[in-house]
Structure formats: C-alpha cells, structure tokens
Structure 1
Amino acid sequence: MASKTVEDAILQRTNHNHPNIFEKIFCEIRDTTSSNQMLIGMSLGWVSGFFALKIGRTTMMAIGGGMILLEMANANKLIKINWDRVNENFEDVKYEIKKQKESTWINEAVYFAEKYTSFSSGFLGGFLIGLGSH
C-alpha cells in the first residue's frame, strides 16, 4: 500500500462536506484567482499581524512578570521548583510529539502555503504591514 501524501489527505478530507473550518476555507481560497488569493492573504495577514502586536504586548508582559515573580519566590524560598521533574515532563512531551506520525493541520497549512504562493506572499506582506501599523 502506497503512503499517503499530505495532498491526498487534504483531498480525501475535503470530499466529505468540509468537516474542518480550515479545510473549508482552504478549499474556497484554492478555487479563486491568483489576484483574489493575494488580496485575501494580504487582508488576513494584516488582521493577524495587527492583533498579534496588540495581544502580544499584553501576553509578553504577563508571562514575563509571572516568570520574574516565580523566580523571586523561588529565590526567597517561598516555593521550591523541582527542575528535574519539569525537565522530565518536557522530555515526555517531546517524545510524544516525535511519535505522532499522522498528518496535522500544520503540515496541511505548510503544504497549502507552498502550493499557493500568491496567497502566502500576500499573507506575509499583510502580516508585516499589520505589525508595523499601530
């Protein structure tokens, strides 16, 4: 039995009434013209970049502040962090990720980006414009 490619997996899934919202969107974008793909990609990229900038600042402040507070509490012996156990958990997660062999939505998105470069370049350009505008 031949191994399935990412394209085969996407096509097989999209023939079943679009069970996933991403697959439905990808199918709609795939069927448009190159200039429309560029326009859709640019618009989605700008919105993503704009919100990444706005949400990213707040998120980074919260994560950074939490890390500083956690380390201060650890230094003052208010809490004790078992780093060996934390590292074991990370190793378990890395092992599970490597073990997973099925096609994920990330693989499908990468395949879509490689196949439809006009959408991808529009998205990247829009994302950078969105990051620059605030």
Structure 2
Amino acid sequence: MSATWSKSRKNIENKEIEKMADDASKFLGGILGDISNKSAYTQIGIGAASGWLTGFTTMKVGKLAAFAIGGTIILVEIAHHEGFISIDWAKVNKKLDKVSDKVETAVTGQSPSWIDKAERFVDKKLERAERKTRKWYSKLIGDENGPRVNDLHLFITAFIGGAAIGVACA
C-alpha cells in the first residue's frame, strides 16, 4: 500500500514540476519572444545579460556548495579531533587504493603503472570531448561542411562573454 502511495505521490510531484517548467518557458517566451527576429545588437545584449546572470548565479551556487562540503569536512575533522568519532584515514585510503586497483586490473587484465593510468585517462577524456564538441557544433550550426556566422553565433558568443564576466564579478 505504501509503495502505491509513494508512486502516486511521485507522479503528482513530477506533474507539478512539469507544470512549473512549462509556466517558466511561457513566461520567458513572452518576455524574449523569438530572438532570431531581433537585431544583432539586441541579440548581443540579451546574450550578454543572460550569460552574465548564468555565470554570476553559477559562482554563487558553487560557493554555497563548496562552503557546505568544506564545512562538513571541517565538522567531521573537529568531531574526530574531539573524540566523538574515530576515523582510521590510513585504512580508508588503503581500501580506496585496493578498489581502484581491482577495477583497473579487471578492465585491462594487468596492473599498469600510475603513469599509464594517467595517460590513458587523459587521452580518453580528450578524445571523447573532441567527438562531442564536433557533433554538438555541427548540430548547432546545421552544417557539417564548415563554420558560417549566423544569428545564433552572435547570441552564443555574447552569452559566453557575459558568463565569463559574471564569473569574474562573483
């Protein structure tokens, strides 16, 4: 019975979230309208303002998250120092190292050196990022032959610049 109630409660919450997202979309659509029909100056202004707001908000939320995580770590350390809890950090680190070595050995069949691990990790991440960026860019501009400046480029450039300024201001 409680599982059914829980599922129906989740469905209600999901519907409420969807309604709020639709309302927000309609609100922003009413304010901004179709940006591509506006002048380049307006697009740059909207892009820069929304980018600044995004960057500023991201920095404030990031600082809050860092404060919360750092505060928790400090509280755990204080509790450990005062004797409320006992943490064997050597044991924790040893277990983490063993788990990561087991995973690496299971995947490759041998235990590589740390240099090999770092090199493979960076290579995979860079290759994956490059593929995703190329795919994203070709979808964004709608042309796989090469870059051409269009209205979206103005907005995106201004958005990125505004985000950088917002991050710097925060």
Q: TM-score, normalised by structure 2?
A: 0.38
Q: TM-score, normalised by structure 1?
A: 0.45
Q: Which has the larger radius of gyration?
A: 2
Higher helix share: 2
